[in-house]
A and B are shown apart, each in its own frame.
Chain A
Amino acid sequence: MKSDPIKSLDPRVGRLPQTDNPTKQPLDQFSTFEVFVQPAPGKPFRHEGPVHAPGLEMAYVLAKEAFTRRFTCSSLFVADTHDVHVFAPDEQALPTDDAASKAMTPSTFEIFQLTKRGKQSVQTGAIEAASPQQALALAHQQCTAMPYAFWAIDRRAIRFTASEEQDFWQTLPDKKFRDAAAYKGGEKLQRFLDASR
Protein backbone atom coordinates (compact mmCIF):
# COMPACT_ATOMS: atom_id res chain seq x y z
CA MET A 1 0.00 0.00 0.00
CA LYS A 2 1.30 3.40 -0.92
CA SER A 3 1.29 5.80 2.00
CA ASP A 4 0.81 9.54 1.63
CA PRO A 5 4.09 11.39 1.59
CA ILE A 6 4.79 13.61 4.57
CA LYS A 7 3.64 17.11 3.74
CA SER A 8 6.47 19.60 4.07
CA LEU A 9 5.97 22.95 5.81
CA ASP A 10 8.37 24.41 3.25
CA PRO A 11 6.13 25.79 0.47
CA ARG A 12 8.91 25.32 -2.08
CA VAL A 13 8.71 21.54 -1.70
CA GLY A 14 5.15 21.43 -3.00
CA ARG A 15 6.21 23.37 -6.09
CA LEU A 16 9.07 21.10 -7.10
CA PRO A 17 8.57 19.56 -10.52
CA GLN A 18 7.32 15.98 -10.52
CA THR A 19 9.82 13.66 -12.12
CA ASP A 20 9.03 10.32 -13.78
CA ASN A 21 12.32 8.84 -12.75
CA PRO A 22 12.94 9.43 -9.04
CA THR A 23 15.56 6.68 -8.71
CA LYS A 24 19.05 7.93 -9.23
CA GLN A 25 21.39 5.95 -11.42
CA PRO A 26 24.40 4.76 -9.40
CA LEU A 27 27.82 6.21 -10.23
CA ASP A 28 26.35 8.94 -12.43
CA GLN A 29 28.49 11.74 -11.00
CA PHE A 30 30.59 13.98 -13.17
CA SER A 31 34.34 13.45 -12.89
CA THR A 32 36.42 15.58 -10.54
CA PHE A 33 38.61 18.64 -10.91
CA GLU A 34 41.04 19.99 -8.31
CA VAL A 35 40.66 23.55 -7.06
CA PHE A 36 43.57 25.83 -6.07
CA VAL A 37 43.05 29.16 -4.34
CA GLN A 38 45.32 32.15 -3.83
CA PRO A 39 44.10 33.87 -0.65
CA ALA A 40 45.86 37.19 -1.33
CA PRO A 41 48.09 38.70 -4.04
CA GLY A 42 51.65 37.36 -3.82
CA LYS A 43 50.69 34.38 -1.63
CA PRO A 44 51.12 30.83 -2.91
CA PHE A 45 48.11 28.92 -4.24
CA ARG A 46 46.75 26.22 -1.94
CA HIS A 47 44.85 23.08 -2.86
CA GLU A 48 41.33 23.46 -1.45
CA GLY A 49 39.56 20.34 -2.70
CA PRO A 50 37.67 18.90 -5.65
CA VAL A 51 34.51 19.82 -7.56
CA HIS A 52 32.39 17.63 -9.82
CA ALA A 53 31.85 19.10 -13.26
CA PRO A 54 31.23 18.11 -16.88
CA GLY A 55 34.35 19.93 -18.10
CA LEU A 56 37.23 22.26 -17.20
CA GLU A 57 35.37 25.54 -17.76
CA MET A 58 32.29 24.38 -15.80
CA ALA A 59 34.67 23.22 -13.05
CA TYR A 60 36.15 26.72 -12.84
CA VAL A 61 32.68 28.27 -12.65
CA LEU A 62 31.47 25.90 -9.93
CA ALA A 63 34.73 26.06 -7.96
CA LYS A 64 34.43 29.82 -7.61
CA GLU A 65 31.38 29.66 -5.35
CA ALA A 66 32.12 26.25 -3.80
CA PHE A 67 35.51 27.37 -2.47
CA THR A 68 35.84 31.16 -2.56
CA ARG A 69 32.53 32.60 -1.40
CA ARG A 70 33.59 33.29 2.19
CA PHE A 71 37.28 34.00 2.73
CA THR A 72 39.48 36.43 0.86
CA CYS A 73 40.61 35.30 -2.54
CA SER A 74 42.65 37.00 -5.24
CA SER A 75 42.82 34.20 -7.81
CA LEU A 76 41.66 30.67 -8.47
CA PHE A 77 42.60 27.85 -10.82
CA VAL A 78 41.34 24.37 -11.61
CA ALA A 79 42.73 21.27 -13.32
CA ASP A 80 41.31 17.84 -14.09
CA THR A 81 42.24 15.46 -11.26
CA HIS A 82 43.92 13.23 -13.87
CA ASP A 83 46.23 16.12 -14.78
CA VAL A 84 47.54 16.45 -11.22
CA HIS A 85 50.62 14.20 -11.11
CA VAL A 86 51.65 13.05 -7.65
CA PHE A 87 54.91 11.66 -6.31
CA ALA A 88 55.19 10.52 -2.68
CA PRO A 89 58.96 10.09 -2.06
CA ASP A 90 58.53 7.84 1.02
CA GLU A 91 56.31 5.41 -0.84
CA GLN A 92 57.32 5.48 -4.50
CA ALA A 93 60.41 5.17 -6.65
CA LEU A 94 61.58 8.31 -8.44
CA PRO A 95 59.25 8.83 -11.42
CA THR A 96 60.56 8.08 -14.89
CA ASP A 97 59.11 9.14 -18.25
CA ASP A 98 56.59 6.82 -19.82
CA ALA A 99 56.10 6.49 -23.58
CA ALA A 100 53.29 9.06 -23.71
CA SER A 101 55.18 11.73 -21.81
CA LYS A 102 58.31 11.26 -23.96
CA ALA A 103 56.31 12.49 -26.94
CA MET A 104 55.31 15.70 -25.13
CA THR A 105 56.51 19.16 -26.04
CA PRO A 106 58.25 20.73 -23.01
CA SER A 107 56.06 22.86 -20.79
CA THR A 108 55.92 24.70 -17.49
CA PHE A 109 54.60 22.77 -14.50
CA GLU A 110 53.14 24.27 -11.35
CA ILE A 111 54.73 22.46 -8.40
CA PHE A 112 53.00 21.88 -5.07
CA GLN A 113 54.30 20.24 -1.89
CA LEU A 114 52.48 18.53 0.95
CA THR A 115 54.59 19.17 4.02
CA LYS A 116 52.14 18.20 6.77
CA ARG A 117 49.77 15.27 6.82
CA GLY A 118 46.15 16.37 6.82
CA LYS A 119 47.06 19.84 5.54
CA GLN A 120 46.76 21.35 2.10
CA SER A 121 49.33 21.06 -0.64
CA VAL A 122 50.92 24.46 -1.21
CA GLN A 123 52.43 25.87 -4.38
CA THR A 124 56.22 26.17 -4.20
CA GLY A 125 57.06 27.35 -7.70
CA ALA A 126 57.13 26.34 -11.32
CA ILE A 127 59.51 24.09 -13.26
CA GLU A 128 60.25 23.80 -16.99
CA ALA A 129 60.27 20.15 -17.94
CA ALA A 130 59.65 17.77 -20.82
CA SER A 131 57.11 15.69 -18.88
CA PRO A 132 55.26 15.61 -15.55
CA GLN A 133 57.58 12.82 -14.40
CA GLN A 134 60.62 14.94 -15.17
CA ALA A 135 59.01 17.91 -13.39
CA LEU A 136 58.44 15.76 -10.28
CA ALA A 137 62.00 14.35 -10.42
CA LEU A 138 63.43 17.88 -10.75
CA ALA A 139 61.27 19.17 -7.88
CA HIS A 140 62.53 16.29 -5.76
CA GLN A 141 66.14 16.96 -6.74
CA GLN A 142 65.89 20.68 -5.85
CA CYS A 143 64.24 20.04 -2.49
CA THR A 144 66.12 19.97 0.81
CA ALA A 145 63.41 19.38 3.44
CA MET A 146 61.55 16.40 2.00
CA PRO A 147 57.74 16.73 1.89
CA TYR A 148 55.23 13.87 1.97
CA ALA A 149 54.27 14.52 -1.63
CA PHE A 150 55.09 16.56 -4.72
CA TRP A 151 52.39 17.54 -7.20
CA ALA A 152 53.04 18.70 -10.76
CA ILE A 153 50.43 20.22 -13.09
CA ASP A 154 51.11 21.20 -16.68
CA ARG A 155 50.10 24.84 -17.10
CA ARG A 156 48.45 24.01 -20.42
CA ALA A 157 45.94 21.84 -18.52
CA ILE A 158 44.99 24.61 -16.09
CA ARG A 159 42.02 27.00 -16.27
CA PHE A 160 43.53 30.12 -14.67
CA THR A 161 41.72 33.29 -13.61
CA ALA A 162 42.01 35.81 -16.44
CA SER A 163 43.24 39.29 -15.53
CA GLU A 164 39.82 40.86 -16.17
CA GLU A 165 38.26 38.26 -13.85
CA GLN A 166 40.20 39.40 -10.81
CA ASP A 167 37.27 41.62 -9.78
CA PHE A 168 35.17 38.49 -9.08
CA TRP A 169 36.08 38.79 -5.40
CA GLN A 170 35.97 42.58 -5.07
CA THR A 171 32.81 42.67 -2.93
CA LEU A 172 33.68 39.62 -0.81
CA PRO A 173 34.74 41.63 2.28
CA ASP A 174 31.25 43.24 2.29
CA LYS A 175 29.40 39.94 2.43
CA LYS A 176 29.19 39.81 6.20
CA PHE A 177 25.88 37.95 5.97
CA ARG A 178 27.89 34.83 5.18
CA ASP A 179 29.65 35.05 8.53
CA ALA A 180 27.58 33.84 11.49
CA ALA A 181 29.48 36.20 13.84
CA ALA A 182 28.22 39.24 11.89
CA TYR A 183 24.67 38.57 13.15
CA LYS A 184 25.85 39.12 16.74
CA GLY A 185 23.45 36.43 17.92
CA GLY A 186 25.17 36.08 21.31
CA GLU A 187 24.91 39.82 22.06
CA LYS A 188 21.24 39.91 21.08
CA LEU A 189 20.47 36.88 23.23
CA GLN A 190 22.31 38.45 26.18
CA ARG A 191 20.35 41.71 25.79
CA PHE A 192 17.11 39.74 25.66
CA LEU A 193 18.05 37.78 28.79
CA ASP A 194 19.09 40.96 30.65
CA ALA A 195 15.83 42.66 29.68
CA SER A 196 13.66 39.74 30.79
CA ARG A 197 15.47 39.32 34.12
Chain B
Amino acid sequence: MTALKELLYKIADDQLIIGHRNSEWTGFGPLLEEDIAFSSMAQDKVGQSYALYQLLNTLGEPPPDTVAFMREASLFRNCQLVELPNGEYDFSLVRHFLFDTAEALRFEMLIQSSHIPLADLARKIRGELRYHTLHANTWIRQLGSATEESITRLQQSLEFALPYALGIFEPSPYEDALIDQRIFAGEQALYTRWQEVVEDVLRPTQLSLPAWGSITPRLGGRQGQHTEHLTSLLDEMSEVFRIDPAAEW
Protein backbone atom coordinates (compact mmCIF):
# COMPACT_ATOMS: atom_id res chain seq x y z
CA MET B 1 0.00 0.00 0.00
CA THR B 2 1.28 3.46 -0.81
CA ALA B 3 1.73 6.20 1.78
CA LEU B 4 -1.15 8.18 0.28
CA LYS B 5 -3.59 5.25 0.34
CA GLU B 6 -2.70 4.39 3.89
CA LEU B 7 -3.38 7.98 4.93
CA LEU B 8 -6.70 8.11 3.09
CA TYR B 9 -7.85 4.78 4.53
CA LYS B 10 -7.16 5.72 8.11
CA ILE B 11 -8.93 9.07 7.82
CA ALA B 12 -11.88 7.59 5.91
CA ASP B 13 -12.26 4.72 8.39
CA ASP B 14 -12.16 7.15 11.33
CA GLN B 15 -14.92 9.25 9.74
CA LEU B 16 -17.10 6.24 8.88
CA ILE B 17 -16.85 4.56 12.27
CA ILE B 18 -17.30 7.71 14.39
CA GLY B 19 -20.16 8.75 12.08
CA HIS B 20 -21.86 5.40 12.55
CA ARG B 21 -21.32 5.41 16.30
CA ASN B 22 -22.66 8.94 16.70
CA SER B 23 -25.67 8.10 14.54
CA GLU B 24 -26.63 5.49 17.13
CA TRP B 25 -27.86 8.39 19.27
CA THR B 26 -30.50 9.33 16.69
CA GLY B 27 -33.83 9.26 18.49
CA PHE B 28 -32.21 8.84 21.91
CA GLY B 29 -30.46 12.20 22.35
CA PRO B 30 -30.74 14.08 25.64
CA LEU B 31 -32.86 16.86 24.11
CA LEU B 32 -34.55 17.25 20.78
CA GLU B 33 -32.30 19.99 19.43
CA GLU B 34 -29.18 18.06 20.43
CA ASP B 35 -30.51 14.85 18.92
CA ILE B 36 -30.94 16.68 15.61
CA ALA B 37 -27.53 18.35 15.76
CA PHE B 38 -25.62 15.22 16.72
CA SER B 39 -27.39 13.14 14.06
CA SER B 40 -26.74 15.76 11.43
CA MET B 41 -23.02 15.88 12.23
CA ALA B 42 -22.91 12.07 12.14
CA GLN B 43 -24.29 12.27 8.59
CA ASP B 44 -21.58 14.80 7.73
CA LYS B 45 -18.90 12.39 8.93
CA VAL B 46 -20.26 9.46 6.94
CA GLY B 47 -20.42 11.80 3.94
CA GLN B 48 -16.78 12.77 4.47
CA SER B 49 -15.79 9.10 4.61
CA TYR B 50 -17.65 8.56 1.34
CA ALA B 51 -15.71 11.39 -0.32
CA LEU B 52 -12.42 9.85 0.87
CA TYR B 53 -13.41 6.34 -0.30
CA GLN B 54 -14.19 7.92 -3.67
CA LEU B 55 -10.66 9.34 -3.77
CA LEU B 56 -9.35 5.85 -2.98
CA ASN B 57 -11.53 4.45 -5.74
CA THR B 58 -9.85 6.78 -8.25
CA LEU B 59 -6.51 5.36 -7.02
CA GLY B 60 -7.61 1.83 -7.90
CA GLU B 61 -9.28 0.70 -4.68
CA PRO B 62 -12.75 -0.96 -4.76
CA PRO B 63 -15.91 1.22 -4.80
CA PRO B 64 -16.98 3.01 -1.57
CA ASP B 65 -19.81 0.63 -0.62
CA THR B 66 -17.58 -2.42 -1.01
CA VAL B 67 -14.84 -0.87 1.06
CA ALA B 68 -17.23 0.32 3.76
CA PHE B 69 -19.42 -2.76 4.10
CA MET B 70 -17.44 -5.80 2.94
CA ARG B 71 -14.14 -5.53 4.83
CA GLU B 72 -13.52 -7.38 8.06
CA ALA B 73 -12.39 -5.55 11.20
CA SER B 74 -8.67 -6.32 10.81
CA LEU B 75 -8.63 -4.40 7.51
CA PHE B 76 -9.94 -1.20 9.10
CA ARG B 77 -7.35 1.47 9.92
CA ASN B 78 -9.42 3.63 12.30
CA CYS B 79 -8.14 4.44 15.77
CA GLN B 80 -9.75 2.50 18.60
CA LEU B 81 -11.28 5.66 20.09
CA VAL B 82 -13.98 5.84 17.41
CA GLU B 83 -15.12 2.21 17.72
CA LEU B 84 -15.79 2.22 21.48
CA PRO B 85 -19.49 1.89 22.38
CA ASN B 86 -21.35 5.12 23.07
CA GLY B 87 -21.88 4.54 26.77
CA GLU B 88 -23.58 7.53 28.35
CA TYR B 89 -23.80 10.93 26.72
CA ASP B 90 -20.90 12.38 28.69
CA PHE B 91 -18.51 9.89 27.07
CA SER B 92 -19.94 10.51 23.60
CA LEU B 93 -19.49 14.27 24.06
CA VAL B 94 -15.93 13.94 25.37
CA ARG B 95 -15.03 11.62 22.48
CA HIS B 96 -16.67 14.05 20.04
CA PHE B 97 -14.54 16.86 21.49
CA LEU B 98 -11.22 14.96 21.53
CA PHE B 99 -11.74 13.38 18.11
CA ASP B 100 -13.19 16.36 16.28
CA THR B 101 -10.43 18.65 17.54
CA ALA B 102 -7.91 16.33 15.90
CA GLU B 103 -10.04 15.82 12.80
CA ALA B 104 -10.50 19.57 12.20
CA LEU B 105 -6.77 20.24 12.67
CA ARG B 106 -5.87 17.32 10.39
CA PHE B 107 -8.02 18.66 7.56
CA GLU B 108 -6.74 22.17 8.22
CA MET B 109 -3.23 20.80 7.62
CA LEU B 110 -4.43 18.87 4.56
CA ILE B 111 -5.52 22.11 2.86
CA GLN B 112 -1.77 22.42 2.14
CA SER B 113 -1.50 18.84 0.82
CA SER B 114 0.41 18.24 -2.41
CA HIS B 115 -2.31 15.71 -3.32
CA ILE B 116 -4.69 18.24 -4.86
CA PRO B 117 -7.94 16.23 -4.64
CA LEU B 118 -7.32 15.82 -0.91
CA ALA B 119 -6.53 19.51 -0.45
CA ASP B 120 -9.72 20.38 -2.36
CA LEU B 121 -11.80 18.11 -0.15
CA ALA B 122 -10.22 19.57 3.00
CA ARG B 123 -11.10 23.06 1.83
CA LYS B 124 -14.62 22.04 0.92
CA ILE B 125 -15.52 20.52 4.30
CA ARG B 126 -13.82 23.22 6.37
CA GLY B 127 -17.14 24.82 7.35
CA GLU B 128 -18.65 21.48 8.39
CA LEU B 129 -15.71 20.81 10.68
CA ARG B 130 -15.73 24.36 12.01
CA TYR B 131 -19.31 23.77 13.13
CA HIS B 132 -18.52 20.34 14.59
CA THR B 133 -15.77 21.78 16.77
CA LEU B 134 -17.90 24.78 17.78
CA HIS B 135 -20.58 22.31 18.87
CA ALA B 136 -18.10 20.19 20.83
CA ASN B 137 -16.28 23.11 22.44
CA THR B 138 -19.49 24.86 23.46
CA TRP B 139 -20.88 21.75 25.17
CA ILE B 140 -17.59 20.98 26.91
CA ARG B 141 -17.34 24.54 28.20
CA GLN B 142 -21.00 24.52 29.22
CA LEU B 143 -21.01 21.19 31.06
CA GLY B 144 -17.42 21.46 32.24
CA SER B 145 -18.44 24.41 34.40
CA ALA B 146 -22.11 23.64 35.17
CA THR B 147 -23.01 21.28 38.02
CA GLU B 148 -21.06 18.91 40.24
CA GLU B 149 -22.59 15.98 38.38
CA SER B 150 -21.77 17.31 34.92
CA ILE B 151 -18.19 18.17 35.86
CA THR B 152 -17.60 14.78 37.54
CA ARG B 153 -19.06 12.90 34.58
CA LEU B 154 -17.00 14.78 32.00
CA GLN B 155 -13.85 14.42 34.10
CA GLN B 156 -14.29 10.64 34.39
CA SER B 157 -15.02 10.29 30.69
CA LEU B 158 -12.05 12.45 29.84
CA GLU B 159 -9.69 10.27 31.87
CA PHE B 160 -11.14 7.13 30.29
CA ALA B 161 -10.98 8.50 26.74
CA LEU B 162 -7.53 10.15 26.75
CA PRO B 163 -5.41 6.97 26.25
CA TYR B 164 -7.60 6.10 23.26
CA ALA B 165 -7.46 9.68 21.99
CA LEU B 166 -3.68 9.51 21.91
CA GLY B 167 -4.13 6.47 19.65
CA ILE B 168 -5.40 8.90 16.97
CA PHE B 169 -1.76 9.95 16.46
CA GLU B 170 -0.26 6.47 16.16
CA PRO B 171 2.55 6.97 13.66
CA SER B 172 2.22 5.46 10.24
CA PRO B 173 5.07 3.43 8.68
CA TYR B 174 4.99 6.13 5.97
CA GLU B 175 5.42 9.25 8.12
CA ASP B 176 8.68 10.28 6.43
CA ALA B 177 7.33 9.69 2.94
CA LEU B 178 4.15 11.68 3.67
CA ILE B 179 6.16 14.57 5.06
CA ASP B 180 8.81 14.48 2.29
CA GLN B 181 6.18 14.40 -0.43
CA ARG B 182 4.26 17.17 1.36
CA ILE B 183 1.10 15.07 1.39
CA PHE B 184 0.62 15.48 5.15
CA ALA B 185 2.79 17.16 7.78
CA GLY B 186 2.67 14.09 10.03
CA GLU B 187 1.09 12.73 13.20
CA GLN B 188 3.62 14.33 15.54
CA ALA B 189 2.89 17.82 14.20
CA LEU B 190 -0.85 17.14 14.48
CA TYR B 191 -0.48 15.82 18.04
CA THR B 192 1.37 18.98 19.14
CA ARG B 193 -1.30 21.26 17.72
CA TRP B 194 -4.07 19.09 19.19
CA GLN B 195 -2.61 19.31 22.70
CA GLU B 196 -2.62 23.11 22.49
CA VAL B 197 -6.25 23.32 21.37
CA VAL B 198 -7.47 20.78 23.94
CA GLU B 199 -5.72 22.75 26.68
CA ASP B 200 -7.20 26.04 25.41
CA VAL B 201 -10.76 24.73 25.36
CA LEU B 202 -10.52 23.13 28.80
CA ARG B 203 -8.76 26.09 30.47
CA PRO B 204 -11.94 28.05 31.39
CA THR B 205 -13.68 24.88 32.65
CA GLN B 206 -13.31 23.01 35.91
CA LEU B 207 -11.97 19.96 34.09
CA SER B 208 -8.35 19.01 34.52
CA LEU B 209 -5.93 17.25 32.20
CA PRO B 210 -3.42 14.75 33.50
CA ALA B 211 0.21 15.32 32.47
CA TRP B 212 0.47 14.27 28.82
CA GLY B 213 3.49 12.11 29.58
CA SER B 214 1.54 10.10 32.17
CA ILE B 215 -0.96 8.80 29.59
CA THR B 216 -0.21 5.47 27.89
CA PRO B 217 -1.63 5.65 24.35
CA ARG B 218 -3.91 2.83 23.17
CA LEU B 219 -2.25 1.99 19.88
CA GLY B 220 -2.86 -0.67 17.25
CA GLY B 221 -5.94 0.63 15.46
CA ARG B 222 -3.90 2.01 12.57
CA GLN B 223 -2.45 -1.48 12.02
CA GLY B 224 -5.80 -3.26 12.15
CA GLN B 225 -5.72 -4.24 15.82
CA HIS B 226 -9.10 -3.41 17.27
CA THR B 227 -11.26 -3.94 20.32
CA GLU B 228 -14.06 -6.52 20.06
CA HIS B 229 -16.49 -3.62 19.62
CA LEU B 230 -15.50 -2.97 16.00
CA THR B 231 -16.62 -6.39 14.76
CA SER B 232 -20.09 -6.03 16.28
CA LEU B 233 -20.36 -2.49 14.91
CA LEU B 234 -19.44 -3.69 11.40
CA ASP B 235 -21.88 -6.61 11.59
CA GLU B 236 -24.69 -4.28 12.50
CA MET B 237 -23.74 -1.55 10.01
CA SER B 238 -23.36 -4.02 7.12
CA GLU B 239 -26.24 -6.34 7.93
CA VAL B 240 -28.61 -5.10 5.25
CA PHE B 241 -25.97 -4.44 2.59
CA ARG B 242 -24.55 -7.95 2.89
CA ILE B 243 -27.92 -9.60 2.27
CA ASP B 244 -27.58 -8.52 -1.36
CA PRO B 245 -24.35 -6.65 -2.13
CA ALA B 246 -25.39 -6.13 -5.77
CA ALA B 247 -28.75 -4.51 -4.95
CA GLU B 248 -29.45 -1.08 -6.36
CA TRP B 249 -30.54 1.37 -3.65
Contact = CB atoms under 8 A, between A and B. Distances in A.
Interface of A: 11-12, 15-17, 30, 51-55, 57-58, 61-66, 69, 164-171, 174-175, 177-178
Per DSSP, chain A at the interface is helix
Interface in B60-99: 85-88
Per DSSP, chain B at the interface is helix
Interface in B214-246: 236
A174 B121 CA distance: 13
B229 to A, nearest CB: 11
Interface in B110-128: 124-128
A17 B88 contact: yes
A15 B236 CA distance: 13
B118 to A, nearest CB: 16
Interface stretch (B3-11, B134-142, B191-199, B201-209): B134-142
Interface stretch (B30-38, B161-169, B170-178): B30-38
A66 B127 contact: no
A58 B142 CA distance: 8
Interface string B46-71: 01000000000000000000000000
Interface of B: 24, 28, 31-34, 36-37, 40-41, 43-44, 47, 85-88, 124-128, 130-131, 134-135, 138-139, 142, 146, 236
B28 A12 contact: yes
Given A164-B130, A175-B47, A177-B43, 15 more contacts: A12-B24, A15-B24, A17-B87, A51-B33, A52-B32, A54-B146, A58-B139, A61-B138, A63-B33, A65-B37, A65-B41, A167-B126, A168-B130, A168-B131, A175-B43
A34 B138 CA distance: 18
A165 B236 contact: no
Contacts of A54: 142, 146
Identify the 3 closest CB pairs spanning chains A and B, nearest first: A167-B127, A65-B37, A62-B33
A169 B127 contact: yes
B162 to A, nearest CB: 21
A168 B127 contact: yes
Contacts of B125: 171
Nearest to A51: B33
Nearest to A15: B85
A66 B142 CA distance: 19
20 contacts: A17-B87, A17-B88, A51-B33, A53-B33, A54-B146, A58-B138, A58-B139, A61-B138, A62-B37, A65-B41, A66-B33, A66-B36, A69-B36, A165-B127, A167-B126, A167-B127, A167-B130, A170-B126, A171-B125, A175-B47
Nearest to B143: A54
Given A61-B135, A66-B33, A165 B28 contact: no
